[in-house]
């Protein structure tokens, strides 16, 4: 009874804590869905930048919280170029193999040429690991810069097999109903046992942790609730994502959100899965598993 009472007091305190002065940075695109409803309600707190520039926010160190690729945050922390600790994992993989081939399935990749995006990135490493562990061997692998590039190839070449990502896959499928997508996460689960890999995360600035721990706890609770809406209230998240120009429009967003694997898991709870992801390609994490002090755990 005493424990329940203490928990209720903590929840009330979090609800009453003013977090309006906190600053949050995130990349435009799928990972920002974790914050969409919060940002729509308080846009002055949020800065959305191009995905390929988000890591600069760690060096700037002006944001209290940053959403970024988990491996990038871990690598910078290990190198002493970031003081941001892992608060929670919020995105678990939005990658898909796709093709216009009739009845496309992963086995069609055997002996075929495939095109991935993001050479020498954790996304590419996860995709190739998932194929290898499932006994699927492409004849060759080519690379383009991003999911938008492989989306264009998917639309223009009816023989192409590509890796793309949500929401690009949904946008392409709405233009061409011959396109079939297969989740990389399904192959990854068959290989690892986990429902997705640790793709994007919420990081907390050390100065903020030290000076405003109660605000950190309160904001993490808000983010957990916001992530939950990606499952329980997709229309609200889609509307927010379109209004903030995180995703192209509400129609694409509504169809893509369920495929973006947005879920909240605190750093201590996610640690085993972080390490499983890292072991696929330790180079992407700075050559070794993140240290104990990388993980934030509420006291």
Q: State how far the Cα of 67 lies from the Cα of 55, in Å rounded to an integer.
A: 9
Map out the domains of the chain with their CATH numbers: 19-92+200-288 (3.40.190.10), 95-192 (3.40.190.10)
> Per residue of the chain (299 residues), what is the pLDDT tens digit?
544 444 444 444 455 789 999 999 999 999 999 999 999 999 999 999 988 899 899 999 999 999 999 999 999 999 999 999 999 999 999 999 999 999 999 999 999 999 999 999 999 999 999 999 999 999 999 999 999 999 999 999 999 999 999 999 999 999 999 999 999 999 999 999 999 999 999 999 999 999 999 999 999 999 999 999 999 999 999 999 999 999 889 999 999 999 999 999 999 999 999 999 999 999 999 999 999 999 999 87
Burial (CB count within 10 angstroms: exposed 0-12, middle 13-18, buried 19+), residue 248: middle
With CA atoms as reference, report the closest residue to 112 among 131, 94, 93.
131
pLDDT of residue 52: 86
- CB of 125 within 8 A of CB of 281? yes
Secondary structure letter of residue 295 according to DSSP: B
Rg of the Cα atoms in the chain: 19
pLDDT of residue 13: 46
Q: pLDDT tens across 72-118, in order?
A: 999 999 999 999 999 999 999 999 999 999 999 999 999 999 999 99
**187: which residues sit within 8 A by CB, 6+ positions away?**
106, 130, 131, 133, 134, 136
- CB of 136 within 8 A of CB of 107? yes
pLDDT of residue 15: 58
CB count, 10 Å around CB of 269? Answer: 13
Transcribe 190-209 into DSSP letters.
Answer: HHHSSSS---EEEEE-HHHH
């Amino acid at each position: 009874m005493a424990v329940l009472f203490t928990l209720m007091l903590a929840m009330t305190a979090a609800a009453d804590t003013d977090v309006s002065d906190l600053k949050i940075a995130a990349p435009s695109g799928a990972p920002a869905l974790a914050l969409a409803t919060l940002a729509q309600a308080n846009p002055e707190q949020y800065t959305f930048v191009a995905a390929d520039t988000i890591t600069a926010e760690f060096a700037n160190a002006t944001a209290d919280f940053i959403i970024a690729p988990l491996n990038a945050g871990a690598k910078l922390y290990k190198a002493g170029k970031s003081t941001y600790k892992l608060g929670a994992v919020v995105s678990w993989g939005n990658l898909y193999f796709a093709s216009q081939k009739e009845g496309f399935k992963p086995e069609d990749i055997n002996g075929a040429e495939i095109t991935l995006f993001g050479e020498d990135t954790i996304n590419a490493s996860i995709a190739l690991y998932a194929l290898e562990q499932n006994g699927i061997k492409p004849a060759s692998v080519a690379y383009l810069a991003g999911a938008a590039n492989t989306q264009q190839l998917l639309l223009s070449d009816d023989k192409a097999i590509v890796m793309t990502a949500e929401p690009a896959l949904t946008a392409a499928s709405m233009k061409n109903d011959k396109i079939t997508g297969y989740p990389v996460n399904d192959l990854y689960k068959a290989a690892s046992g986990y429902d997705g890999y640790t793709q994007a995360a919420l990081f907390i600035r050390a100065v903020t942790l030290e000076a405003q721990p109660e605000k950190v706890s309160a904001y993490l609770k808000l983010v957990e609730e916001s992530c939950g809406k990606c499952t329980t209230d997709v229309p609200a998240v889609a509307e927010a994502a379109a209004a903030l120009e995180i995703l192209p429009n509400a129609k694409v967003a509504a169809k893509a959100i369920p495929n973006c694997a947005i879920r909240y898991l605190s750093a201590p709870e996610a640690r085993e899965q972080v390490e499983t992801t890292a072991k696929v390609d330790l180079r992407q994490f700075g050559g070794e598993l993140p240290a104990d002090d990388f993980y934030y755990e509420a006291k």
